A and B are shown apart, each in its own frame.
Chain A
Amino acid sequence: MTVTHFGAVLLFAFFTSIVFGITQRSEPKMMIRFGAFCFALFVFGTIAASWGMWLIKH
């Protein structure tokens, strides 16, 4: 199996956010909101960190 770096980020963020949403909140509506928040934080955090590393390199 091969996967792009960004694909790996999306897969990781998706499955991890589901578990975080279910385990860290009590009500279904809040679970979905928290899961979506975690997903966004994972993906955009990774993109931000990637640009940060690019800036350090250059």
Chain B
Amino acid sequence: MSTNPQAAQQMSKADKALLNQKSGVSPAVALFAGWLVPGAGHLLIRKPIRALLLFVSIVAMFSIGIALEGKVYTPNTGDLLDILGFAGDLGSGVLYILARVFDLGHSSVQIAIADYGTKFIVVAGLLNIVSAVDAHSLASGRKLS
């Protein structure tokens, strides 16, 4: 008796989804951890290599932005673009908090290359949000592997 390859593949996908859900981590926890510390969401759902790559990439982008004297946005400046920049920066989670606590970065762009730094910092935050949502999808079984 021959087995249907498609059925076998579907079974395999269902098993993968079940495996993700059985990691014992709530999708909300994976999302929050992934936002707070880059890659932590993936680490919780037992994807250590992905977690390491995400951590290195996002921390490197944020650090390069700081080293290039990029602007770290603050809330309540009243400027719409500043608010958007703040939302992007906030995506970095603990990195943004550390930058504010230790007064890293600059409050305004003072040299030409610092504009790149500002974008590096904002994009690091946005990428961290993407990775946190990915961890949520893996934990909930919406993404198979």
A1 and B61 form a contact (CB under 8 A)? no
Of the candidate stretches B81-89, B102-110, B127-135, the one touching chain A is B127-135
B64 and A23 form a contact (CB under 8 A)? no
Alpha-carbon separation in the docked complex, A52 to B87 (Å):
31
Number of B positions contacting A (CB below 8 A): 23
Identify which of residues 1-18 in chain A touch chain B, using a CB-to-CB cut-off of 8 Å: 1-3, 5, 8, 11-12, 15-16, 18
Q: Write 28 A-B pairs (CB below 8 A) sorted by A numbering.
A: A1-B64, A2-B113, A3-B64, A3-B68, A3-B116, A8-B113, A11-B61, A11-B120, A12-B61, A12-B119, A15-B57, A15-B61, A15-B127, A16-B57, A16-B123, A16-B127, A18-B53, A18-B54, A18-B57, A19-B58, A19-B127, A19-B131, A22-B50, A22-B134, A23-B130, A23-B131, A23-B133, A26-B144
Q: Which residues of A contact B (CB under 8 A)?
A: 1-3, 5, 8, 11-12, 15-16, 18-20, 22-23, 26-27
